[in-house]
Amino acid sequence: MSSNSLLFSINNEGKVYALSTSSSCWREFMYLGLEFKTLSAVPHFLWAVGGDRQIYLHVHGLEIPIRVKEESFENERWLPLDGFSSRLLPTDRYHFSSQDGTKDRSIDSIRLPSMAWQWEGDWQLELTLDGQPLDHDGWSYAVDFPAQFGPSKQWKSCVRRKKWIRYRKFSAMNSWCAIAPLHKDPTQEPFIDVSIGGNQMPYAAPGTLSVWAITAHGRVMYRAGVSTTSPEGLKWINISIPPGCDIKQISVGPTGLVWGLLWTGRVIIRKGITKDCPTGESWLEVKSPNETKILSVSVGFNVAWAVSSDTRVWFRKGIDGNSAGTSESSATGSGWLEITGNMIQISVGINDQVFAIGETDKCVYWRSGITPAELTGKRWRMVQANMQLSRTSSSTSVVSSVSNAKHHSLTTLNETTPERKTNINLHNSWEESHSAPIEHTMPVKHPREARPKGNVNIENIDLTGKSYETTLKNPRAWSPVRSVGSVVGMEAQPDSDSSVFDVDSGMFFDDEVSQTAWGTCETTWAFVQAGACCVDTLQVPHWFSDSHNVHNTDLSAKWRLEILDNLKNRNNNQTIDLTNYGVAVEEKGWTRSCEARLVNSNSSMEDCILSLYWNDIENTGTLSVFQPDGTIQFILNLPEVTNVFSISEPGSPRICINVPRQKKSTIRVQFISEMEQEEWFSVLVDITSQINVLSGRPSANSIWAVTNSGDVLNWDPMPASLNTCQNGIFTKEFQVFGKDIIQGFTTNLNNNFPPGSRIKVTGSLFDEITRFHINLEGPQVKQRNRVETEVTDIPLHFNVRFEENAVVCNTKTLGSWGVEERHDLPVARGQEFSIEIICDVQVFKIRVNEKHYCLYEHRLSPESITSVSVKGPLKLYTMEYSSTSLIIGAEEMFWRTIGGYLRRVECSQNGIVWGITHDHRVWLYSGGWGGGVLKGVGSKDGIHSMTDTQTYCVYENQRWNPLSGYTSTGLPTDRYMWSDVTGKHKRTREHTKLLGRHWHWISEWMIDYNTPGGVDSDGWQYATDFPAPYHGKKIFTDCDRGDEVSVWAITVGGDAIYRTGVTANTPASLIAISTCNNAVWAVGRRGELYYRGDVTKENPGGFNWNMIEQPKLGYPYSHKSVHIKMVSLTENAAWVILSNGSIAVRTCVSKSQQDGKEWKYLTDEITFKHVSSMGQEVWAICADGALLRRQGVTADNVLGTTWQSIVNGALVHVSARGRSS
Amino acid sequence: MANDRELLREIWDGKLPICFQLAQEEIMEIQQPDPFYVMVPRLSYFPLVTDKMKRHFLRYISQENSDSEMWLDYNGQPLKWHYPIGFLYDLFCGNEPQLPWILTVHFTKFPEDILLRCSNKDVVEAHFISTVKEADVLKHRGQVMSTMQKKDHNQLRLMESHGENEGFKHIPVRIYSDDGTCHQSLVNPKNCTDGSRKTVQHMITELYPDKTSVKLRTHGITIPSDTPLQWLSEHLSYPDNFLHLCLC
């Protein structure tokens, strides 16, 4: 049973879509200029009748390609004069024969069955016989032909033979393959229906398939020779039907049972279909139910379902698939049963699951509750899946003109394979033709002839965007069946196209969320085919959205607000002190669980059950993740969660959770619906904030960040600083219990070890100890040409050596030790000890057992110390780290989601926080918390309404073609005809999807006439080729996030903007600016850097812009200067991000030297998106969205020492400008 | 589906301050027992929340009564344990709120003619489940409970109108007069004339055509008369899935 099977549908435009049971969106099949009428499928094999009434086959999703071995035996006889010779006796077999010698298997005449096949290599000899090696010619010998062949030549060997083998491969995988028509002229007897089944025929060989079709002349055809290794089969066989029967639809069940539907609405059933007689014996007739006419019928294993012309649904009871071939009553069933619902078409899938198209809404419905015991099911559920955009959108796909891309490749196909043409047998009768007909018999008109001159495709664009159809339909439109070769659309590159078969690859994600687009158009379906669809009734696919009947207006209704208000004030009416009241029952907390999916790091997903436990009295909670079978996967301790934020993408509502103490990687969870995601998100934010005792407005000292999906995160160091501060000294105790000191215990010193820092270690020494050390170390450095990292700098090495009766203090600089300083042994074996290292301006003061022991002068800056390491045979009791500033590690930083929705955020030291939304409006933080999705948390204060407008752009691209002018038919190498600005991603208007349910469209698509560079009157821009500087037609629309309550309030008015005077040296336009104290730095549009001189309080505009020397790329190897993307200025340095994403720092910026002194470069190979610095705080977001903090930044060492990872996740912007040093 | 979290939270977290006092005739010690003050969930039932209180008073009563069933009264009216506590408060104190709610605790003279016996907590559960089943029959013709297993019953939430958006078949609602008599009738969530949402006012006019200015109280509040019944049932039902409304 496959966990990933496909449901097929045809929409009202004849386009084929597939919905995978493991996904929740419809994916369109590659559109090849051909609509389809009907489909029939078993897993991996899809047969269809095209709009040209010809039959097409689509083979897909096979992991192992279809390979067939062709064999031919070359026979020779020993003749007295010639030796072994190909001249054989007249009674002998053919020179090239089959193994038994009865058939002529001349190698030249063994050809590919159709052009859907390709040879894999040339003919080769088989050099073994039953496992024994043969000589290099591959001959095996025998007395005479019907005898046993052996590997060696003997005196009596009169004949010999060798075996030639060659493999052919079905190459038309994942593409439509035309099946040859019945007659030379395909229009002579077109097809009206086709059905495949028989994949579970009782006792039949594995791979058996059964294909039946109906022609427009009412003939029933059986396709002989169809199997999984021969998907096209061999030929059509006519099956006679009783006179007077005019058949219109046929359905083959998985057991091979065939039901035909007559135009009169009655049903005929083929009896006697068994594995030995797949065509059956004769027809039986079944009355239609209650004198109604049947419109559509579908046969399953033990069922048949039908829809009558009055749209009623009928179930045929009493069918037994296993004995249908032998028993008439099992084949015909015993009676009709009416099922509720009104449908127009019905299809039975694997396990007798039923899908149907609704009568009124033309939606796809699934019959839920069908089990082997209850084949009629319980009720109809609507399949609600999103649409995924396709390369050619539904309504923009121009009916293929003659100069279609398919034709290009068709011609090349024919040109490059001349030998195939010659191979084709002209005398094949059409009745039993293979599916590769011959070009000679079916001359295709050359495009130039077929196309009348001057007939130009005129596109009539309706600006309302409602209809968009090309007016010209060439009546001689190219049809794949005329294409000779049976392989259609190979050039569509099924591998590189995100087709239906690579599940969930269709995520188009870009740096800019605004470019994300997914389809959400309403489609009306004409046909559904479930034959390949395996729905697990226990684990229903995520196709059925929760139905919710919350009238959104209820939330703001007067009566609801009144009820809520009254409820809140229930106990407030009388003034009694409720604090003395005990709790009646000790509450055990509550749990909440739901089914969701874990998203693994490689984007694969696994089902899981989330279970949240929370006890608000004890302030404890856990989030447990179970596998669907109930086994536990992991449990997260909620107090250790550092952040929760939404990482939803259109169509997949997700959140991510970081618990650095428990799990290194981010936990990503996808929920079934957006509602559920919002509820869980809100609950988790609420609980984790409660645990961390956070609510309301964060302090001015906070760091703010914005995630990819617009959530605003805040880390507030204040609550933590209140807890641990004593006389300006912050102390942190490390958890050392149970640590293995013998192997070495290393822990990070978050604030480095500047003067004023102290570390104290207590413990007891083992009796057999020989030496131990305490190191104050620098960062791990990756050495050039080495894989592993190592510590190269150890500013203080304190080594107690009992065997030498001494303590050795030393410093390691760039990997080499300096001069040792030796002192007497202060401690004894087997005793308790305490060692305290205090950093002073000049020296380390070392105290042992509470007594001064020695001094050690700094040889390296103590600021470069990033960690402490203890190693030796001893037991640690405590380890205390004190610093003059707050000590807080990444695993202790709780990032609270504040609410609202922004693209950029910037804070300042006085607590003012501003933000920018997509529509470039500026918002001011109100000091509230919650709102919007976070409806349960916080109070109502400071919640305002927030709106945002986002503009979606798609580009329509066309290519000029000598015949037809500009058309939407591109070259295979071209960009998508509807694309984003880069052309790398497909975008269509119809399938552009809103980011979430809080967004609404506010306008129709419009053409942008204001594209930089100018456009013509229709909005087109021109270029010589696609990668050239050029845009197609840009069409945009706006969507709006309205009705959102949020903690951000729009700023109206405000102070007048100070306009600087224009001087000769004014940069044309600025893309980034940063100020600090009295300096202003800015980045010009070409990536050059300026500072504004002489900015003072009296003259805040300054005097003029001065250019600053550009940093160099690839320092120190090259001297090419590089563009700057952004700048963040502090009192003494400017941090800039270069165009290649690396960071450079302009040092020694001061009042006297406003442009700084020199560029320094960070050499760690990380690329950055954003950096924000203030004082000695430097925070940055690297290219993958992770938030990093620079450690060891001091006035002397402005570059700091190393990056510390704070949050893994999709962040876009950070502001540390509120941090005071 | 009820997803108005803010409101549901108020309902589910609703607590009532209660002051339990031992009936004077029960006290066998010279020392007067202190009243027992406690916050009680409105949605719960007395037998489930009185364990602590019972232990508090046990040492003041005569030993032979310590095993007999405890019962409560308010102003001389015995309280039926099989109603949710919040509802009992609304019934007896709805019109003149008393906080804390002062209740008298008895261990003797069980009023057999008024109260049901409650030997243990399983009886409460059995009663609760039977009420839920009754509500389910009214709501969805019993389709939900019949598909649930015994173990699921422990985790009952308010049953939601599953599947279609049509709402409930009938609203499980009980309306009580001041004297505690209960009125239960089939109430459709939609007006049969136009299919619009039926409001509390519609129901009142339907049930009490002769009375004017009828107000209904539940969860300690008076319900605005334009509240839709379906919404009311989804959000303001007690855990037994019934709307227990008091006339006032």
Please state, in angstroms and rounded to a whole number, the distance separating the CA atoms of residues A719 and A696.
13
Q: Which of B210, B243, B214, B213 is nearest to B228 (CA)?
A: B243
Q: Which of A266, A223, A212 is nearest to A244 (CA)?
A: A266
- pLDDT score for A804: 87
Are A57 and A71 members of one domain? no
Contacts of A554 in chain B (CB under 8 A): 4, 228, 231
| Same-domain pairing of A199 and A317 | yes
Q: Regarding predicted confidence, which is higher, A170 or A555?
A: A170
Burial per residue of A339-369, b for 16 or more beta-carbon CB atoms within 10 angstroms, e otherwise: bebebbbbbbbbbbbbbbbbbeebbbbbbbe
Using pLDDT thresholds of 50, 70 and 90, give the confidence band for residue A328: confident
Please say if the pLDDT value at position A1065 is more than 50: no
Residues of chain A in contact with residue B228, where contact means CB-CB under 8 angstroms, are 554
A42 against B95, higher pLDDT: A42
Domains identified in chain A, total number: 6
Residue B37 near chain A (CB below 8 Å): yes
Both A1190 and A1208 in one domain: the answer is: yes
- DSSP annotation of B224: P
What's the pLDDT score for residue A205? 86
- CA distances, A241 to each of A38, A238, A260, A329 (Å): 22, 9, 10, 20
Query: CB B221 to CB A570 under 8 A?
Result: yes
pLDDT greater than 50 at residue A1026: yes
Instruction: Take residue A1026 and report the two structure tokens written for it.
Output: 């696609």
The residue among A818 and A151 whose pLDDT is bigger is A818
The answer to whether the CB atoms of B1 and A563 lie below 8 A apart is: no
Q: Which of B59, B53, B52 is nearest to B27 (CA)?
A: B59
pLDDT at A517: 37
Q: CA–CA separation, A637 vs A620, rounded Å?
A: 8
Interface of A with B (CB under 8 A): 379, 381, 546-551, 554-555, 558-560, 562-564, 566-568, 570-571, 573-574, 576, 578, 580-585, 675, 679, 682, 935-936
- Please check whether residue B102 is in contact with residue B19, taking contact to mean a CB–CB distance below 8 angstroms: yes
> Is A1064 part of any domain?
no
Is A158 within a domain? yes
Categorize the per-residue pLDDT at B191 as very low, low, confident or very high, splitting at 50, 70 and 90. Answer: confident
- Shortest CA gap B63–chain A (Å): 24
Q: Are residues B41 and A585, on separate chains, in Cβ contact within 8 Å?
A: yes
CA distance A591 to chain B (A): 10
Q: What CATH fold (topology level) applies to the domain B121-247?
A: Ubiquitin-like (UB roll) (3.10.20)
Cβ-Cβ contacts under 8 Å between A and B: the total is 108
Instruction: Tell whether A49 is covered by a domain.
Output: yes
* Contact between residue A994 and residue A1001 where contact means Cβ atoms under 8 Å apart: yes
What distances in angstroms separate CA A686 from CA A689, A851, A928, one per listed residue?
A: 5, 49, 14
* pLDDT band at A782; cut points 50, 70, 90: low
Buried/exposed code over B150-172 (b: 16+ C-beta within 10 A; e: otherwise): eeeeeebebbbbeeeeebbebbb
Residue of chain A minimizing CA distance to B86:
A570
Partners of A574 on chain B (C-beta within 8 Å) are 97, 99
Distance from CA of A550 to the nearest CA of B (A): 7
Average pLDDT over residues A974-984: 69
Q: Are residues A72 and A19 in the same domain?
A: no
Q: Do A682 and B5 touch (CB under 8 A)?
A: yes
Residues B4, A555: C-beta atoms closer than 8 Å: yes
Tell me the ipTM for this assembly: 0.86
pLDDT at A428: 36
Are A743 and A847 members of one domain?
yes
Is residue A900 one of the residues assigned to a domain?
Answer: no
- Count the Cβ atoms, other than its own, within 10 Å of residue A102: 10
Confidence of residue A478 (pLDDT cuts 50, 70, 90): very low
- What A206-210 contacts at long range (C-beta under 8 Å, 24+ apart), as own/partner pairs, is A208/A275, A208/A278, A209/A42, A209/A45, A210/A252, A210/A256, A210/A258, A210/A273, A210/A278
Helix residue ranges per DSSP H, A390-526: 405-416, 418-423, 447-450
- Same domain (yes/no): A150, A231: no
| Chain position carrying tokens 């005929």 | A268
Return left, alpha or beta for B110; rule: phi > 0 is left, psi -120 to 50 is alpha, else beta.
beta
Tens-digit pLDDT profile for residues A718-765:
766 655 666 777 888 887 776 777 777 888 887 788 888 889 988 888
Average pLDDT, chain A: 75
> Is the N-terminal amide bond of A862 cis, ω within 30° of 0?
no
Flag whether A698 is in a domain: no
B167 band by pLDDT with thresholds 50, 70 and 90: low
Report the alpha-carbon distance of residue A480 to residue A960 in Å, rounded.
24
Given a contact cutoff of 8 angstroms between Cβ atoms, the answer to whether A926 and A1047 are in contact is: yes
CA pseudo-torsion sign B181, B187, B189, B190: negative
A573 CA: distance to closest CA in chain B (Å)? 9
Residues A771 and A869 in one domain: yes
- B-interface mutation test, from A546, A559, A940, most B Cβ less than 10 A away: A559
Residue B145 backbone dihedrals phi, psi, to 5 degrees:
-65, -35
Give the nearest chain A residue to B219 (CA atoms): A567
| Domain membership flag for residue A497 | no
Give yes or no for B50 touching A (CB within 8 A): yes
Contact B15 A582 (CB under 8 A): no
Residue A471 has pLDDT above 50, yes or no: no
Would residue A485 count as lying in a domain?
Answer: no
Residues A49, A195 within the same domain: yes
State residue A369's pLDDT score: 79
Nearest-angstrom CA–CA distance, A628 and A619 = 28
Q: Tell me the residue ranges of DSSP E strands in A1112-1210.
A: 1124-1129, 1134-1138, 1143-1146, 1159-1161, 1168-1174, 1177-1182, 1187-1191, 1202-1207
Q: Place A1195 in a pLDDT band, splitting at 50, 70 and 90.
A: confident
Per residue in A437-456, pLDDT (tens digit) is 333 333 333 433 333 333 33
Q: Does A235 share its domain with A209?
A: yes
Cβ within 8 Å of residue A387, ≥6 positions away: A17, A25, A26, A28, A518, A519, A520, A521, A523, A990, A991
Residue A113 has pLDDT above 60, yes or no: yes
Final residue of a structural domain among A844, A872, A887: A887
Q: What DSSP line would sit under A205-268, residue for residue?
A: PTTB-EEEEEETTS-EEEEET-BTTBTT-SEEEEE---TT--EEEEEE-TTS-EEEEETTS-EE
Cβ count within 10 A of residue A498: 20
Name A787's Cβ contacts closer than 8 Å, sequence gap at least 6: none
Same domain, A1200 and A1088: yes
pLDDT in tens, A500-513: 444 333 333 333 33
Q: How far is residue B226 from each of residues A527, A563, B197, B230, measured CA to CA in Å?
A: 45, 11, 10, 12
Whether residues A140 and A229 share a domain: the answer is no
Residue A78 banded pLDDT, cuts 50, 70, 90: confident
- Give me the mean pLDDT over the B98-112 stretch: 87
Mode of pairing for the β-strands spanning A944-956 and A978-979: antiparallel
Domain end residue (candidates: A170, A199, A226): A170
Whether residues B1 and A546 touch (CB distance < 8 A) is answered with: yes
Q: Please give the average per-residue pLDDT across A820-845, as a whole number.
A: 89
Minimal C-alpha gap between A377 and chain B (Å): 15
Q: Say whether A1012 sits in a helix, a strand or coil.
A: coil
The residue of B6, B18, B161 whose CB has the most chain A CBs within 10 angstroms, and thus the best one to mutate to test that interface, is B6
Strands A1159-1161 and A1143-1146, sheet pairing? antiparallel
Q: Domain B5-106: which CATH class?
A: alpha beta
A537 vs A162 pLDDT, higher one: A162
- Higher-confidence residue: A789 or A41? A41
Tell me whether residues A584 and B227 touch, CB distance under 8 A. no
- What is the distance between the alpha carbons of residues A165 and A122, in angstroms, rounded to a whole number? 9
Mutate to test the interface with A, among B99, B165, B168, B198 (most CBs of A within 10 A): B99
In the numeric block, the tokens 């993408």 are attached to A649
CB contact under 8 A, B164 and A547: yes
pLDDT at A268 over 80: yes
Q: What is the CATH number of the domain that holds A616?
A: 2.30.29.30
Q: Does B111 touch chain A (CB under 8 A)?
A: no
In angstroms, the CA A498 to CA A488 distance is 18
Cα separation, A784 vs A875, whole angstroms: 37
Q: Closest by alpha carbon to A909, among A1198, A703, A1135? A: A703
Q: Assign residue A570 a region (left: φ > 0; alpha: ψ between -120 and 50; beta: otherwise).
A: alpha
Chain A CB contacts of B164 below 8 Å: 547
Secondary-structure breakdown of chain A: helix, strand, coil percentages, each rounded to the nearest 5: 10, 40, 55
| Token pair recorded at residue B171 | 């609203």
Give A814-826 as a 3 state SS string: CCEECCCEEEECC
* Chain B residues 78-107 with CB within 8 Å of chain A: 97, 99-100
Give pLDDT tens digits for A481-534: 333 333 443 333 333 333 344 433 333 333 333 333 344 446 788 899 988 888
A345 occurs within a structural domain: yes
Task: Look up residue A547 and give its DSSP letter.
Answer: P
Q: How far is A551 from chain B (nearest CA, A)?
A: 9
CATH number at residue A834: 2.60.120.200
Chain A interface disruption, residue of B13, B37, B147, B245, most A CBs within 10 A = B37
Joined together, the tokens standing for residue A603 give 């984007």
Cα-Cα-Cα-Cα torsion A678, A681, A687, A692, nearest 10 degrees, comes to: -140
Residue B131, helix vs strand vs coil:
helix
Q: Are residues A744 and A856 in the same domain?
A: yes
Task: Verify whether the Cβ–Cβ distance B224 to A563 is below 8 Å.
Answer: yes
What is the domain-level CATH number for residue A1120? 2.130.10.10
Instruction: Give the pLDDT score at A92.
Output: 79
Q: Which of A837, A855, A887 is the last residue of a domain?
A: A887
Q: Which of B121, B201, B231, B236 to mutate to test the interface with A (most CBs of A within 10 A)?
A: B231
CATH number, domain with residue A283: 2.130.10.30
Residue A267: strand pairing partners? A261, A286
Residues of chain A with Cβ-Cβ distance to B227 below 8 Å are 559-560, 563
Tokens linked to A101 = 């010698």
Write out the residue limits of the CATH 3.10.20.620 domain(s) in chain B: 5-106
Q: Write the pLDDT tens digit of every residue in A38-72.
A: 999 998 899 999 888 889 888 888 878 888 888 88
Tokens representing residue A1082 in the block? 């800015």
Interface residue B41 vs chain A (CB under 8 A):
yes
Range of the domain at A650: 587-693
Smallest Cβ distance to B7: which of A564, A576, A582?
A: A564
Is B153 within 8 Å of chain A by CB? Answer: no
In this structure, is the dihedral angle defined by the CA atoms of residues B60, B61, B63 and B65, taken in order, positive or negative?
A: negative
Q: How many CA atoms lie within 13 A of A388 on its CB side?
A: 29
Task: Assign residue A932 a region (left: φ > 0; alpha: ψ between -120 and 50; beta: otherwise).
Answer: left
Contact between chains at A563 and B221 (C-beta distance less than 8 A):
yes
Q: In chain A, what percentage of residues exceed pLDDT 90?
A: 6
Of A1059 and A269, the structure prediction assigns the larger pLDDT to A269
Are the CB atoms for A624 and A1190 separated by under 8 Å?
A: no
